[in-house]
Amino acid sequence: MILHDYLPSGNGYKIRLLLSLLGQSYQLKSYDIVKGESRTAEFLALNPNGKIPVLEFDDGRCLAESNAVLFYLAQGTPFWPQDVWQQAQVIKWMSFEQYSHEPNIASPRFWLTHAGVTAERQAQLADKQQQGYAALAVMEQHLSQHDYFVANTLTIADIALYAYTHVAEEGGFDLQKFPAVLAWLERVAQVNNYVSINDDSARVS
Shortest distance, position 171 Cβ to its own copies, whole Å: 17
102 vs 171 by CB, closer to its own copies: 102
Is the Cβ of residue 98 or residue 196 nearer to its own copies in the bound state?
Answer: 98
Choose between 59 and 205: whose C-beta lies nearer to its own copies.
59
Residues 6+ apart with CB under 8 A from 108: 125, 128, 129, 132, 171, 172, 173
Q: Give the Cα separation of 161 and 101 in Å (integer).
A: 8
Query: Smallest distance, Å, CB 167 to its own copies?
Result: 19
Distance CA 72, CA 63 (A): 9
Of 23 and 48, CB closest to its own copies: 48
For 21, the 3-state DSSP assignment is helix
Q: Give min distance, CB of 93 to its own copies, in A.
A: 8
| Cα dist from 20 to 32, 159, 202, whole Å | 23, 12, 6
Minimal distance in Å, beta carbon 18 to its own copies?
Answer: 14
Nearer residue to its own copies within complex by CB, 16 or 51: 51
Q: Which residues bind its own copies (CB under 8 A)?
A: 48-49, 51, 61, 63-69, 71-72, 75, 84-85, 87-89, 91-92, 94-96, 98-100, 102-103, 120, 123-124, 127, 135, 138, 141-142
CB of 62 to its own copies, least distance (A): 10
2 touches 29 (CB < 8 A): yes
Amino acid occupying residue 177: K
Pairing mode, strands 2-5 and 27-30: parallel
Q: Is the dihedral of CA 22, 27, 28, 29 positive or negative?
A: negative
